[in-house]
Amino acid sequence: MVHMNILITGAAGFVGFHSAKRLLSRGHRIVGVDNLNSYYDVRLKHERLTHLRGNTRFEFHELNLADRDGMRELFRTNSFDVVLHLGAQAGVRYSIEQPFAYIDSNVVGMLSVLEGCRHSGVKHLVYASSSSVYGANTKQPFSIEDRTDDPVSLYAATKKSDELMCRTYAHLYRLPSTGLRFFTVYGPFGRPDMAYYKFADAITAGRAIDVYNHGNMKRDFTYVDDIVDCIEVIVEREPSSSKDATPHRVYNLGNNRPERVLTLVGLLEEHLGVSARVNLLPMQPGDVEATYADIEATRRDFGFAPKVSLSVGIQKFAEWYLARRDGLAASR
């Protein structure tokens, strides 16, 4: 295997951290970029970076993706074989409160990455999209062949914009690009704004949790190790393309098994050892009732086969969560 120089944006984020850790273990050199914003507890981002900085092949830059001069200098002073673009402003509901944060990070930031790749000869851009692009689509499971022009949140609209921008650069400049539509990724070192993490915080503190759509929500929960297994394969395999075909492709990365959110709550109760008090509430603006990934193309092209059940994944998360909570309490 050829060892590569890889840029990972969002390296202090959840999927970015796990991806960097795996690719470092494969012998690649990683340059990580993150702006370390305060959307959620920055201490968690620093904890992730502490694990990565123990490897001499990891280099970190605190940098905002929308900083054009900073991004231009980053690409000028490095020679990247692959860019794994995972940096973004995440969260559906927050996009209603802070819309400009999403345009700056997800649209302007994507353009900075594309321009850097274009002018520095990057061989492959792999970037994070989202299951949110399927919007109000009621057909299940969601297929990469389905229309994605009916977003129900600004976050989804920015992710669809990313896909269109990448396809345009692939067409104009022959930049090979692969978009990954993630479906509800969870696990240790996860994002505190995600439902499973917020539920764990509330349950262990004795607070009630809010479950929307009166408990009728379903999500295709996907354990982070399964996601990273596939990212590793994709990063190490440059897309093949004919001179007539645009070298851009999009794939679903989901578990292919939607689960009720109330099932998730029951597993958290079991593995955290605490009963939950549940408030059943109406659907929230920007939410969709169910997500369900058709992963046939991802399986065909990359051998993607999620292995971790929700029960096992939540057990692993709960063990990490309790150990971290106890460690933070002891350090105070």
pLDDT value at 323 more than 80: yes
- Quick one: which of 84, 279, 44 has its CA closest to 179? 84
Quote the pLDDT of residue 74.
98
Q: What domains are defined for the chain? A: 5-183+224-256+293-307 (3.40.50.720)
Q: How far is CA 5 from the centre of its chain?
A: 21
Distance of alpha carbon 9 from alpha carbon 83, whole angstroms: 8
Quote the pLDDT of residue 310.
97
Quote the pLDDT of residue 241.
62
In tens, the pLDDT along 188-214 reads 999 999 999 999 999 999 999 999 888
Quote the pLDDT of residue 283.
84
Quote the pLDDT of residue 91.
84
Catalytic residues: 155
The residue whose two tokens read 């990469």 is 144
The residue whose two tokens read 């009166």 is 214
In tens, the pLDDT along 220-264 reads 999 999 999 999 999 988 766 656 689 999 999 999 999 999 999
Average pLDDT score over the chain: 93
Quote the pLDDT of residue 2.
81
Distance of alpha carbon 163 from alpha carbon 146, whole angstroms: 14
In tens, the pLDDT along 277-301 reads 998 888 888 677 888 899 999 999 9
pTM over 0.75: yes
Please indicate whether residue 310 or residue 242 has the higher confidence score (pLDDT). 310
Query: In degrees, to the nearest 5, what angle opens at C-alpha 238 toward C-alphas 2 and 256?
Result: 115
